[in-house]
Amino acid sequence: MGSQTYKVAIIGTGFGAKVHAPSFIEHERFEVVGIAGRSEEKTARIAEDLEIEQWTTNWKDLLKMDVDVVSVSTPPYLHHKMGKKVLQAKKHLLLEKPTASNAIQAKELARLAEENSLVGMICHEFRFLPHFNFVRELIQAGKIGTVREFHAQEFFGFWADERLPAKGWLFDSMYDGGMLGALGSHVIDRTRYLISDEFKEIFGRPLKTIPTRTTSDGAFKEMTTDDGFQLIGSTIRGINVSIIASTTLHSPPPSRYVIGGSQGTIMIEGSTVFFSDGKETMKQLEIPEKFNLDIKLAEKDRRIPPFLKLLDRLAISLENKKSLSPNLQDAWYNQIVLDSVKTSYNLNSGLNTDPAFH
């Protein structure tokens, strides 16, 4: 890897302060020189704690600074607006997921980056977790032959308690909240990443397992966002895909991925990889050390180690003036799938009770 250092400005003092800023500060190829947030008190405190020289409550101020990259870590409804302004200011862009409010907006960002010869990347850092990279290598090496089916089950419990106060952008559709975007964008990205194929056909629906939650004053509030989703579909090469994601399970079991091929099956349970060649039962595989992450900052936030891998690719992209994956083209494809799940549900939801139909 080269030696040039790139100057970075960060928009957002939530995830931006917890993961983006510490990761950029830790990485030898980047220097954080500015940060923007809505709260003057909070932004000033974060800038002082992280030793960031300049801070502002007007994110547009960052676009006037001498920076190479602007990292956008804000609620999704702001992604298109901010990302567009960043690219129009001729700054390279690192954008949080989900990409935008819809695929049209996502495509515009990808087009702007390409037309202006700018690097544009999306924050799908979890594809760099050791077990996913190991399984991708096994699949590409033909370990299970031709991939025929892919099944993913993502289980979490952080929204299991219906008394959990419904506050923040994640619980509000006006801000593009909900788990289809927040969690689903990651699952869809790693599906495409693992099987190296694109979706062709999609049926799906967002889930509202807990339709009402309490507010801060104890009243009940109808939820406007999903807390999980289901998807079935197929890819261009004919791989059958099924995905279910839930955030409402008490004591959730480990997430599970099962990839079946013409010569064997791979299963990921949690972060453990299993394999069968079709002749023997599943056996655990040891993940090679080359896939290990630098975990010295994992205690601070477990999301930082894979994020550092993403920054490795961002640095190479800037050096070569070409956006490596996950880039804004990936972001557009992922957004198409998210939109398709919603469209499928809107077109097919409900039962037809007309006797003539049956």
Shared domain for 122 and 148, answered yes or no, is: no
- DSSP lists the bridge partners of residue 30 as 6
144 and 279 together in one domain: yes
Q: How far is CA 255 from CA 96, 268, 271, in A?
A: 23, 8, 9
Q: Answer yes or no: do 190 and 114 share one domain.
A: no
* CATH number for position 73: 3.40.50.720
In sign, the C-alpha dihedral spanning 151, 142, 312, 25 is: positive
Whether residue 283 is found in the same domain as residue 145: yes
Q: The pTM is what?
A: 0.94
| Mean of per-residue pLDDT scores for the chain | 94
Residue pLDDT, tens place only, 254-307? 999 999 999 999 999 999 999 999 888 999 999 999 999 988 888 889 999 999
Residues 33 and 182 in one domain: no
Sheet arrangement for strand 240-246: 199-207, 228-235, 240-246, 147-155, 256-261, 265-269, 272-276, 283-285
Q: Is residue 201 part of a domain?
A: yes
227 and 189 fall within a common domain: yes
Q: Does 312 lie in the same domain as 175?
A: no
| 25-39, 150-164, 341-355, range with the lowest pLDDT | 341-355
User: pLDDT tens digits for 11-50?
Assistant: 999 999 999 999 999 999 999 999 999 999 999 999 999 9
Residue 167: the pLDDT is: 81
Q: Tokens representing 240?
A: 């059958």
Is pLDDT above 80 for 123?
Answer: yes
Residue at 233 is within a domain = yes
Q: In the chain, how many domains are there?
A: 2
Q: Is the pLDDT of residue 252 over 90?
A: yes
**Mean pLDDT to the nearest integer, 220-225:** 90
Let me know whether 209 and 98 are in one domain: no
CATH number of domain containing 270? 3.30.360.10
- Domain, as residue range, for 179: 130-291
Confidence of residue 353 (pLDDT cuts 50, 70, 90): very low
- Report yes or no on 358 lying in a domain: no
What is the average per-residue pLDDT within 226-233? 97
- 209 and 265 in a single domain? The answer is yes
Do both 138 and 115 map to the same domain? no
Residue 353, in any domain of the structure: no
In this predicted structure, what is the pLDDT of residue 299? 86
Q: Flag whether 348 is in a domain.
A: no
Do 178 and 314 fall within a single domain? no
336 within a domain of the structure (yes/no): no
Residue 217 lies in a domain: yes
Q: What integer is the mean pLDDT of 70-96?
A: 98
Q: Is the pLDDT of residue 350 over 70?
A: no
Percent of the chain with pLDDT over 70: 97
What CA–CA distance (Å, rounded) separates 54 from 160?
40
Task: Based on the fold, state whether residues 164 and 261 are members of the same structural domain.
Answer: yes
Is residue 209 situated within a structural domain? yes
Round to whole Å and give the CA distance between 182 and 203.
19
